Structure 1
Amino acid sequence: MNKEWNWLKKRADIHPEKTAVIDGESGHKWTYGEVYKKSLSCAKMLEGKGIKSGDRVVLIAPNGVEYLILLFACRELEAIFVPFNWRLTVHELNDLISDCKPVLLFIHPSFLHLQEKLSMDAVAYDVGEWKEDIVFSAGKESLALDQPWMMIYTGGTTGKPKGAVLSYRSVFTNSANTIITWGLSEKDTTLTILPMFHTGGINALTLPVLHAGGTVVIYSQFKPQAILEGLLSYQCTVVLMVPTMYRAFIKLEDFQKETFPHMDVFLSGGAPCPVSIYDAFEGKGLPFKEGYGLTEAGPNNFFIDPSVAKKKRGSVGKPMLLNDVKLLNKRGNEVKCGEIGEMVIFGDHLFQYYWQKEEETKKAVRNGGLHTGDLAYQDQDGDFFILGRKKEMLISGGENVYPIEIENILSAYPGLLEAAVVGLPDEKWGEKVVCAVALEGLDQGDKHTDQLLQAFCREKLAGYKVPKEFYLMEELPKTHVGKIDKKAIVEHVQNSRLFIDTTINEN
Structure 2
Amino acid sequence: MTQLTDAINQQINNHEHNHMIKDLNTGTWLTGAAVREQRDALATNLRNAGVGAGDIVLISLPNGPDNIIALYATLALHAVAYTVNPAMPVPELATLLHRHHYGALILGPNHAEQSGELAQLADVNLSIQVSDATATTPVFTVSSQAVATNDQLTAFQQHTASPIGVLMYTSGTTGDPKAVVLTHDQLLAAAKDIAESQALTPLDRTLVVLPLFHINAQVISVLATTISGGKLIVAQKFSAHRFWSWVQDERITWLSGAPAIIAILLKTRPAVRPQVAQLRFIRSASAPLLPNVQRDFEDYFHVPIVQGYGMTEAASQITVNPVDQPKVGSVGRPTGTDLVILDEDDTPLAAGATGEIALHGEHVITSYLDPKYQSDFRHGWFHTGDVGYLDDDGYLFIVGRKKELINHGGDKISPAEIENVLTQHPAINQVAVVGLPDEIYGESVTAAVVLNPGFTGDTTLTGQLTQFASARLSRFKVPGQFVYVDSLAAGPTGKIQHTRVKNSLLATTAG
TM-score normalised by L of structure 2: 0.89
- 1:488 maps onto 2:500 in alignment: yes
**Distance in 2 between residues matched to 1:351 and 1:245, nearest whole Å:** 29
Structure 1 residues 26-37: aligned runs within 5 Å: 26-37=26-37
How far residue 89 of structure 1 moved from its aligned partner, in angstroms, is 3.9
**Distance in 1 between residues matched to 2:338 and 2:275, nearest whole Å:** 36
Q: Which position in structure 1 is the counterpart of 2:105? A: 105
Decide whether aligned partners of structure 1 residues 65 and 352 sit closer, same or farther in structure 2, where only a CA change above 3 A counts. farther
How far residue 400 of structure 1 moved from its aligned partner, in angstroms, is 1.1
**Matched AA of 1:229:** S
* Runs (5+) with no aligned partner, structure 2: 132-136, 142-159
**Distance in 2 between residues matched to 1:393 and 1:445, nearest whole Å:** 26
* Deviation sequence 1:45-95 (CA, Å, 0-9, x none): 111111111111111111111222122212232211111223444343223
- 1:317 maps onto 2:341 in alignment: no
Which residue, out of 442, 449, 453, partners 1:430? 442
**Distance in 2 between residues matched to 1:409 and 1:182, nearest whole Å:** 31
**Distance in 2 between residues matched to 1:93 and 1:255, nearest whole Å:** 43
Decide whether aligned partners of structure 1 residues 114 and 462 sit closer, same or farther in structure 2, where only a CA change above 3 A counts. farther
Q: Which position in structure 2 is the counterpart of 1:359? A: 372
**Matched AA of 2:439:** E
Structure 1 residues 325-336: aligned runs within 5 Å: 325-336=339-350
- Partner SS for 1:483: coil
**Distance in 2 between residues matched to 1:228 and 1:415, nearest whole Å:** 27
Q: Which position in structure 1 is the counterpart of 2:9? A: 9
**Distance in 2 between residues matched to 1:421 and 1:251, nearest whole Å:** 23
Decide whether aligned partners of structure 1 residues 117 and 460 sit closer, same or farther in structure 2, where only a CA change above 3 A counts. farther
Which residue, out of 272, 290, 302, partners 2:319? 302
CA RMSD of aligned residues (A): 2.2
**Distance in 2 between residues matched to 1:224 and 1:3, nearest whole Å:** 38
How far residue 488 of structure 1 moved from its aligned partner, in angstroms, is 2.2
Q: Which position in structure 2 is the counterpart of 1:129? A: 139
Bigger shift: residues 183-192 or 236-245? 236-245
Q: Which position in structure 2 is the counterpart of 1:136? A: none
Q: Which position in structure 1 is the counterpart of 2:20? A: 20
**Distance in 2 between residues matched to 1:444 and 1:226, nearest whole Å:** 32
Q: Which position in structure 1 is the counterpart of 2:62? A: 62
**Distance in 2 between residues matched to 1:381 and 1:283, nearest whole Å:** 25
- Partner SS for 2:467: helix
**Matched AA of 2:471:** E
Contact 1:167 / 1:352 at 8 angstroms: preserved in 2? no
How far residue 352 of structure 1 moved from its aligned partner, in angstroms, is 5.8
- 1:380 maps onto 2:392 in alignment: yes
**Distance in 2 between residues matched to 1:97 and 1:497, nearest whole Å:** 34
Q: Which position in structure 2 is the counterpart of 1:172? A: 188
Decide whether aligned partners of structure 1 residues 69 and 420 sit closer, same or farther in structure 2, where only a CA change above 3 A counts. same
- Partner SS for 2:388: strand
How far residue 254 of structure 1 moved from its aligned partner, in angstroms, is 2.5
**Distance in 1 between residues matched to 2:367 and 2:73, nearest whole Å:** 22
Q: Which position in structure 2 is the counterpart of 1:503? A: none
**Distance in 2 between residues matched to 1:343 and 1:445, nearest whole Å:** 37
Which residue, out of 455, 459, 464, partners 2:471? 459
**Distance in 2 between residues matched to 1:256 and 1:429, nearest whole Å:** 51
Contact 1:228 / 1:249 at 8 angstroms: preserved in 2? no
**Matched AA of 1:164:** V
Bigger shift: residues 144-153 or 470-479? 144-153
Q: Which position in structure 1 is the counterpart of 2:297? A: 281
**Distance in 1 between residues matched to 2:213 and 2:366, nearest whole Å:** 18
TM-score normalised by L of structure 1: 0.90
Structure 1 residues 168-207: aligned runs within 5 Å: 168-207=184-223
Bigger shift: residues 218-227 or 454-463? 218-227
* Deviation sequence 1:345-386 (CA, Å, 0-9, x none): 11111236433x1221x2233333221110010112221101
**Distance in 2 between residues matched to 1:211 and 1:169, nearest whole Å:** 13
**Distance in 1 between residues matched to 2:96 and 2:490, nearest whole Å:** 20
**Distance in 2 between residues matched to 1:443 and 1:125, nearest whole Å:** 47
Contact 2:210 / 2:237 at 8 angstroms: preserved in 1? no
How far residue 252 of structure 1 moved from its aligned partner, in angstroms, is 2.2
**Distance in 2 between residues matched to 1:263 and 1:26, nearest whole Å:** 23
Structure 1 residues 389-408: aligned runs within 5 Å: 389-408=401-420
Contact 1:165 / 1:352 at 8 angstroms: preserved in 2? no
Decide whether aligned partners of structure 1 residues 283 and 333 sit closer, same or farther in structure 2, where only a CA change above 3 A counts. same
- Partner SS for 1:39: helix
How many residue pairs were aligned?
A: 481
Contact 1:84 / 1:153 at 8 angstroms: preserved in 2? no
How far residue 445 of structure 1 moved from its aligned partner, in angstroms, is 5.3
**Distance in 2 between residues matched to 1:188 and 1:53, nearest whole Å:** 33
**Distance in 1 between residues matched to 2:354 and 2:203, nearest whole Å:** 40
Q: Which position in structure 2 is the counterpart of 1:504? A: none
Q: Which position in structure 2 is the counterpart of 1:291? A: 308
**Distance in 1 between residues matched to 2:303 and 2:251, nearest whole Å:** 15
Contact 1:275 / 1:412 at 8 angstroms: preserved in 2? no
Contact 1:90 / 1:117 at 8 angstroms: preserved in 2? no
- Partner SS for 2:397: strand
* Deviation sequence 1:465-484 (CA, Å, 0-9, x none): 00000111222221233211
**Distance in 2 between residues matched to 1:423 and 1:114, nearest whole Å:** 42
**Distance in 2 between residues matched to 1:113 and 1:398, nearest whole Å:** 55
How far residue 435 of structure 1 moved from its aligned partner, in angstroms, is 0.4
**Distance in 1 between residues matched to 2:172 and 2:92, nearest whole Å:** 11
Contact 1:477 / 1:489 at 8 angstroms: preserved in 2? yes
How far residue 183 of structure 1 moved from its aligned partner, in angstroms, is 0.6
Contact 2:4 / 2:187 at 8 angstroms: preserved in 1? no
- 1:412 maps onto 2:419 in alignment: no
How far residue 420 of structure 1 moved from its aligned partner, in angstroms, is 0.8
- 1:223 maps onto 2:236 in alignment: no
**Distance in 1 between residues matched to 2:11 and 2:470, nearest whole Å:** 57
Contact 2:129 / 2:140 at 8 angstroms: preserved in 1? no
**Distance in 2 between residues matched to 1:101 and 1:422, nearest whole Å:** 38
Q: Which position in structure 1 is the counterpart of 2:256? A: 240
- 1:265 maps onto 2:278 in alignment: no
